[in-house]
Structure 1
């Protein structure tokens, strides 16, 4: 009712993790838009950047899309891609994606004013991921060392410990230090105090352990 009193031409939200219910979608005559930090239809859901790091996807992007009754399923208005640098933090990646997203919004508004704005349905398929839980911070030595390093750096802001099983041993890690993409070491785990080097597939991850 409060929104209806404003009588908006357009509703624009960013990274909005909920569905619009009732007649809210039909209220603004120009529709409802959402800015989503992934290349839809991939990584639908509330934490797309986390899951991009988790899957080892360096190529991501931003999508401006119309909102419909689904979650992140509406037609695409604007989209642009972006490559995550090795070791980038989550907040730094979010800032870069936000800057790209603001450009998409300005482009779409300009097209809307000139009555040249077009949209296209999302391609078939895609993926949806929920909010991560503590189990999602587990590493797998079948990952590459680059993927493990980027995941730890990119999700460090969540403040969760990282767990990796190496043989019968379970290691608890705090911070990723570096990685060597192609090297191999004699043992699966090498230690120097709290500094541990772990063999991945391929490469070696060096990290600070919790103990």
Structure 2
């Protein structure tokens, strides 16, 4: 490995660490005080950086929360693009969703860790964050549409798939927020996923 490559890798790691440190400081403040009352200046001070530096990493205040979902942006498209030969896009996505349920991944809605529940309450209880979440989901939808072949058919299929994943996650999260445990919700969530992806398959795959 050259010195430039090593230096670039170190810079990238430091950048990711800074992203995480700023987001952690912001989330702690948001959970303690609410999203609205916390100023960007307060977050920057807590993270030990200036406001201009914060905005270089996070162009909008909402991005400080949605950063937690960044790894999942375009995930559906990656699953479709990387699926084994002979496995349909819907079957690949269904398997991936079930695997996420087995790991209790927060993005599936089936996770009852206190910090995750608090973050979900913050996210779904803040209109500007919900709007930003829709933007995030829109980008994922566009990426999935391309992975499905693009065009109108790809966009229509992607819109339905992303909507199904969102509805499944929200339904599970609301059950857990109402007091059910993740372990209790998971079997029903898996059954609901089977129903949902079955309906998609009946509607989408005959012409795929």
TM-score with structure 1 length normalisation?
0.25
More helix by percentage: 2
Which structure: larger Rg? 1
Q: Which has the higher strand share?
A: 1
